Amino acid sequence: MNYVIEGIDPAPFASLFSLGDAELANRGAVRMFADAAPGYPCRVTLEDAQPGTRVLLVNHESRPLPGPYRTAHAILVTEGAARPARFVNALPPVFGPRVLSLRGFGADGMMVDALITQPGDAEAGLERLLADARIIEVDVHNAVRGCFAARVRREGNVSRETF
């Protein structure tokens, strides 16, 4: 099974790093500094920010299309993240140490199946979901805090239409 995992586009967040704390608060964002690794997973690079790195906690609509599964939640973006990471048939580092919620969606935007994986079991969970021909993409969330982690797409179904 061939799949692609990509980080989100950093462009919408780049200008936020130059804002003061009050302006960030007005936009619903918070500046933070990573103080441990793992612990501050960047949604652009799909790696944990290293201690001392500046990050922004922002709201992100990961599933913006109309429907019952429209989704927005907090995510972290690392300062200086210039382009989205791309992993082909491989898992990004941020998946490794985390309990994950995997949510498989069909072409109609409806959830077909979902499961929870323990640290180290994400690949087996993805294989199980992607074995179902009805599932074209899987949204991965951190199970504990609910944050969007990344979207997994079958190779050949890679587009940014739902980002």
Residue 40 lies in a domain: yes
| Of 68, 18, 75, residue with least CA distance to 44 | 75
Query: 3-state DSSP call for residue 110?
Result: coil
- Judged against a pLDDT cut of 80, whether residue 156 lies above it is answered with no
In a domain, 160, yes or no: no
Domain membership of residue 36 as a residue range: 3-154
Would 123 be classed as within a structural domain? yes
The pLDDT assigned to 163 comes to 38
First to last CA, the chain: 22
Region 101-108: mean pLDDT is 97
The number of folded domains in the chain is 1
Q: Which tens digits make up the pLDDT trace of 23-66? A: 999 999 999 999 998 999 999 999 999 999 999 999 999 999 88
Predicted pLDDT at 157: 58
- The reported pLDDT for the residue numbered 97 is 93
User: Is it the case that residue 160 has pLDDT exceeding 70?
Assistant: no
Q: Let me know if residue 105 belongs to a domain.
A: yes
Amino acid code (one letter) for 110: M
> What is the average pLDDT across 117-135?
97
Residue 18 exposed, middle or buried by CB count within 10 Å (0-12, 13-18, 19+): exposed
122 in Cβ contact with 102 (< 8 Å)? yes
Assigned domain for 137 exists: yes
Confidence band, pLDDT 50/70/90 cuts, at residue 155 = confident
Q: pTM score > 0.95 for this model?
A: no
What confidence tier does 161 reach under pLDDT thresholds 50, 70, 90?
very low
- Per residue in 61-100, pLDDT tens? 999 988 999 999 999 999 999 999 999 999 999 999 999 9
Query: Is 107 domain-assigned?
Result: yes
